[in-house]
Amino acid sequence: MQYPEPIAKLIDSYMKLPGIGSKTATRLAFYTIDMPEDDVTDFSKSLIAAKKDLHYCSVCGNITENDPCDICRDQSRDQNSVIVVEQPKDVMALDKMDDYHGLYHVLHGVLSPMEGKGPDDINIKTLIQRLQKQPIKEVIIATNATPEGEATAMYISRLIKPAGIKVTRLAHGLSVGSDIEYADEMTLLKAVEGRQEM
């Protein structure tokens, strides 16, 4: 059975979202149709406002309404350290823990030769320019523990180290409450490499 065109277009729109297949998209489309008109209007206004009013900070690459973003403008933050992350959502996750009070830099991806992503395709150039202008003493690389994340971390480290800036990597390994017997080899290797003195 063919759906009416407005529903079919709505289903197609939902399927453009990550992790949404045809069944979930269909369910969301019919749920949207059943929503009160005011809620649908508010929802569509929120989508348009997010796309129109948000952009990337010219300093760190984080998503923001203002340029530079609130984090970059906050002079009470430690101006000597910067955490390099893959995506803006990583900034939000790290800043939520309220234990780190330094700066951030968002790459908007990782190096991935298989997908044709090289150094010019992610936000590395502005990081290097930033390190030349700001008094940053430590770069903490917080890319994900994937082959692409590791390759990106190594590439950035090799670029920065000759400048005499300390480069560190977030520790990876066993999560709290996990059993060693169920951990994969890479997780165990990272846990051993990231061990700390007690």
CA nearest to 190, candidates 166, 167, 170: 170
Residue 34 CA to residue 154 CA, distance in Å, equals 50
Mean pLDDT, residues 100-105 taken together: 94
Query: Under 8 Å CB-to-CB from 145, ≥6 apart: which residues?
Result: 172, 186, 190
- The backbone torsions φ and ψ at residue 81, rounded to the nearest 5 degrees and listed phi first, read -135, 145
The answer on pLDDT for 162 being more than 80 is yes
- Report the CATH fold assignment for 5-53: Helicase, Ruva Protein; domain 3 (1.10.8)
Domain locations in the chain?
5-53, 75-193
Task: Tell whether the model's pLDDT for residue 196 goes beyond 90.
Answer: no
User: Could you tell me which residues come within 8 angstroms of residue 80 by beta carbon, excluding any fewer than 6 positions away?
Assistant: 102, 135, 136, 137, 138
Q: What is the pTM of this model?
A: 0.82
CATH class of 75-193: alpha beta
180 close to 188: Cβ distance less than 8 angstroms: yes
- Tens digit of pLDDT for each residue in 20-75? 999 999 999 999 999 999 999 999 999 999 999 999 999 999 999 999 999 999 99
Task: Yes or no: say if 65 and 122 are a contact pair by the CB < 8 Å rule.
Answer: no
Answer yes or no: is pLDDT of 139 > 80.
Answer: yes
What is the average pLDDT value for the chain, to the nearest integer? 91
